[in-house]
A and B are shown apart, each in its own frame.
Chain A
Amino acid sequence: MKVVTPYRTHMKIVGEILTTARDNAPDETGASVTYLIRKANISHVRISKILGTLVSQGLLEQVDSKSACKYKISQSGREFLVAYHTFSRFADNFGLTI
């Protein structure tokens, strides 16, 4: 039987980017755009827009490193992630994706 993978919602992509920035950042200076693109499996054009939004909303912090711009999750970002995971499970119960 052919299994079709459903499209990820915008909210799910945001959740994956923040989770990557929180759990999988390679060092304490944060995660580079390339690293986030690879881990969250998303195009450069799309991630640039999303990162811009997340930084402007205070969920991610932009850290200027020597070589490239890096991103660290902020305290609000951590709180958002807790809410995201909780309500993701809540919506799962109704067979829905947030």
Chain B
Amino acid sequence: MVFLLENILNLIGFAVGLVIGIMSYIGFKNTGSPTLFRLAIAFFSISVGFFVIWSGYMVDDFILKTGQIQRWVQTLGIAIQTVGYFFIAFSHTIKSFFPKSRYFRSVGYVPLFLVSFISIEHIIRSISFILLVYGAIETVVSYIEGRKKGTLFVAFGLALLALGEFLAWYSFVFPETILYPASIVVKIAGLLLLFVPVSKVPLTKIKFDKFEE
């Protein structure tokens, strides 16, 4: 069951990341916007991260047959995804230059309580969680300013990914419980929410001459 859910999650993550990454890159090629370039890097990283984990499961299922993904492959995939989450958070940090509000300072202290020294994977998951929470909060702030429905979808998507990451991290404390499958389902929902507003962007009028060069 977990194996199936993991595969669904990783394939959806790969596809959603790839589509948003490509759209951002087309946007960058057409407008030269650095924001879109950072978004492209972010979503290509997320896509590659999911693909690495999916490949790990496939290699194990067809070749190694140990019944478990290689730890280092999972850690590598999560680390690559974290780079993507970093670029999403980084784009918001640049936008706000340096947030002076109280919430940023409180979010900044959270890693002290979350970082576990047991393994690198724990540390990376907690970093991902912080970056996703930060990205979600900043997107909610943007929604309050602009009141655009699409922004709300992305904010909820990032929030669900953060919750999924938290549950996945917490499942180390309670292994073999429903926590880990729940984290996967929550992450799948988050990725689908991220894709909803992006799927409504009309690209039909855009000329792709520059992109094809």
User: Are the C-beta atoms of A82 and B142 separated by less than 8 Å?
Assistant: no
Q: Give the B interface residue count (CB, 8 A).
A: 35
Q: With A92-B150, A93-B198 known to touch, is A87 a contact of B30 (CB < 8 Å)?
A: yes
Of B24, B27, B151, the residue contacting A83 (CB under 8 A) is B27
Q: Work out how many contacts link A and B, with CB atoms closer than 8 A.
A: 85
Which of B35, B150, B202 is packed against the most chain A CB atoms within 10 Å? B35
Q: Given the interface contacts A79-B207, A82-B206, does A91 sit within 8 Å of B33 by beta carbon?
A: yes
* Residue from B31, B146, B207 within 8 A of A92 (CB atoms): B146
Whether B201 pairs with A86 at a CB distance below 8 angstroms is: yes
Q: Which residues of B are found within 8 Å of A97, using beta-carbon distances?
A: 35, 95
Give the residues in chain A near B32, CB-CB below 8 Å.
11
Q: Are B88 and A94 in contact (CB under 8 A)?
A: yes
- Closest A residue to B94 using CB positions: A96
Say whether A96 contacts B27, CB under 8 Å.
Answer: no
Chain A contributes a number of interface residues (CB within 8 A of B) equal to: 20
List B residues 154-191 near A (Cβ within 8 Å): 154-155
Query: Does A84 lie at the interface of the complex (its beta carbon under 8 Å from any beta carbon of B)?
Result: yes
Pair B201/A90 contact, Cβ less than 8 Å: yes
Report yes or no: B33 in contact with A93, Cβ–Cβ below 8 A.
Answer: no
B-to-A contact residues, CB < 8 Å: 23-24, 27, 30-33, 35-36, 39, 88, 91-92, 95, 138-143, 146, 148, 150-151, 153-155, 197-198, 201-203, 205-207
A-B contact pairs, 5 of them (CB 8 A): A90-B23, A90-B198, A92-B150, A94-B139, A94-B154
